[in-house]
Amino acid sequence: MKNKNFVVRKALKGDIPDILRITKEVFQVYKESAGIEYGIPALFDTYEHVEQEIERKVFLVATIDDIVVGSVRVEINNDGTAYLSRFGVESSQQKNGVGAVLIDAVDEVMKELGIEKLYLHTASKVLLLIRFYYGRGFYIDSTTKDRGYIRALLCKEYEATKENSHDGIYSNCAV
């Protein structure tokens, strides 16, 4: 991939078809990799659900040449914590740094908002994901079998420092 325009920005309603496509692709692979026998909520996302989440969560997309190739959602809690969900990068763009840059953008926003801890769940059986998150500064807080498979609750801690907000573009670089 040479000299392509790579941007992480806030999700827009016009991004929803691409977000749905990527989410369903990525979470089908997740389901198979983790050996989950039944459907997982991400596979049942609808246009309306994603539209609501764009309005109420920190919802970022990664684009290459204005084409959405990844997304992530973060719900901000009142207690200085946040919860990351539906993180995914389309398969053709994985291992190109897109996921790392999306998480870096989330880190920027969390620091700006004064968030102290960011949590997420992932299947503990999927070593590739566990390694990725550890490489981004997360650690395993606990595990649960509440959904029929072992899910790890991961946590990343921040030093809360509110900064000035910006124009909604979190990263703009050539990859």
Query: pLDDT per residue over 91-119, tens digit each?
Result: 888 888 899 999 999 999 999 999 999 99
Nearest of 70, 23, 79 to residue 49 by alpha carbon: 23
State the pLDDT at residue 93.
83
Nearest of 65, 89, 14, 24 to residue 32 by alpha carbon: 24
User: What average pLDDT does the chain have?
Assistant: 89
Element (H, E) at 152: strand 151-157
Under CATH, to which class is 5-166 assigned?
alpha beta
Give residue-wise pLDDT tens across range 26-72: 999 999 999 998 889 999 999 999 999 999 999 999 999 999 999 99
- Whether the predicted pLDDT of 135 surpasses 90: yes
- Whether the predicted pLDDT of 161 surpasses 70: no
Comparing 97 with 170, the larger pLDDT belongs to: 97
Q: What are the sequence ranges of the domains in the chain? A: 5-166
Element (H, E) at 30: helix 16-34
pTM of the model: 0.88
Cβ neighbour number for residue 165 with a 10 Å cutoff: 9
pLDDT class of 173 with cuts at 50, 70, 90: very low
Give residue-wise pLDDT tens across range 137-146: 999 999 999 9
State the pLDDT at residue 59.
98
State the pLDDT at residue 152.
96
Nearest of 135, 122, 139, 103 to residue 31 by alpha carbon: 122
